[in-house]
Amino acid sequence: MKKPMTSRERVVTAMNRAVPDRVPINYIGHDVNPGITARLCRHFGLAADDRAGLVECLQIDFRGVGALYTGRRLHAELEGFVVNPEWGGRQRWIENSSGGYWDWCNFPLANATDEEIAAYPIPSPDDYDYSIIPAQCALHPDRALFLGNPGLGCNLNTLGIFCGVERAMMEIIDPDSPVQTLLARRADWTVAYIERCLEAAKGRIDLLWLGEDLGTQRGPLISLDTYRRFLKPHHKRYSDLAKAYGIPVMLHSCGSSSWAYDDLIEIGITVVDTLQPEAEGMAPETLKSRWGDRLCFHGCISTAGLLATGTVEDTRRVVRETLDIMMPGGGYCLAPTHSLQDNTPTENALAMYETALEYGRY
């Protein structure tokens, strides 16, 4: 039996495509779908919002750090919606039979003029408190620390939040559209924000987590040419910056995304996230056999299928099968394919982590 590793050692080893003592595990679901988090907290005898206690109980290896926005509100409040003060995205609570979720809607730039898009307020990198990051790092000396989330550096999905999906998809292919300037401004902010956070952490951050959505369930959301012309240059900037600080980049992408993996590898992205097994070209066998010598994988356990609709026995079986495929040679971190949804039975979520801890050991 291997000597037990710290979470940080475990994740760093896996992300170097080497063999740790066990497969690292991650939890996603705190903010978007609070119902499942509250139920899991109650299972462990915690307060419903004790997120820190929950990840300890689940033995999660990852912790996030980041700066705090301290600037003025750039986007006015709007009755009936929650408006993000920094970026202006609008949400409302949608109830369903499982609880509810925060839905992006009422898109602020859906009908904006070119001039309004060009003048759209975005925050300054100066408007954040980076001094809190060392204390965040000190809280978790043995955990793997990541900077970012599935929304940091995102282009297509974020553009949809600003403009609505229809306009975003129409104008992402127009080199003269003002949305290209908006994306470039946001990219400049992202680079500055990342660099200041990394500087503040003084080498303690282990992973940069970026976001994008490149696929539907059946295939690419955009063409490879569109990706290369309009999105890849931004991703390369972030990857080059992370490389300068000696940390890997993990790119989140929902749906069928493997069509872009060779391009991601070319620009230095070495970890891919979500890995929805039901999407075209995303079966664990395909991913491991084709890219297992060049990429590390984070995800694979379906929130849309298995965890929501399967039984506890189904969950245990599929998690074991996934581990059998993805574990050999290292390079795998087990996680749900997206935020755990409120329609996930508590027992299934627990079965996923219990099975990973039991059978994910080398």
CATH number of the domain where residue 170 is located: 3.20.20.210
pLDDT of residue 27: 94
Q: How far is CA 179 from CA 150, 191, 233, in A?
A: 21, 18, 15
Q: What six digits make up the tokens of 343?
A: 């329609």
pLDDT of residue 32: 72
pLDDT of residue 2: 66
pLDDT of residue 300: 98
Does a structural domain hold residue 95? no
What is the rounded CA–CA span in Å between residue 143 and residue 140?
Answer: 5
Does a structural domain hold residue 232? yes
Count of the separate structural domains present in the chain: 1
What is the rounded CA–CA span in Å between residue 58 and residue 50?
Answer: 13
- The residues, ordered by sequence, that sit 6+ positions from 170 with a Cβ below 8 Å of its Cβ are none
**Residue 115, SS3 per DSSP:** helix
Backbone angles phi, psi at 288, to 5 degrees: -65, -45
Strands 207-211 and 62-65: unpaired
Does a structural domain hold residue 129? no
Does a structural domain hold residue 174? yes
Does a structural domain hold residue 118? no
The label of the residue with tokens 């970890």 reads 271
Does a structural domain hold residue 336? yes
| Mean pLDDT per 10-residue segment, the chain (362 residues) | 88 97 89 86 95 96 98 97 97 88 94 96 98 98 97 95 96 95 97 98 98 95 97 98 98 97 98 97 98 98 96 98 98 96 95 98 95
CB 301 within 8 A of CB 341: no
pLDDT of residue 30: 60
pLDDT of residue 99: 82
CB 162 within 8 A of CB 89: yes
Give the residue among 215, 193, 197 at the shortest CA–CA distance from 206.
197
pLDDT of residue 1: 60
Could you tell me the residue range of the domain that residue 244 belongs to?
7-67+138-359
What is the rounded CA–CA span in Å between residue 213 and residue 253?
Answer: 4
Backbone angles phi, psi at 85, to 5 degrees: -70, -25
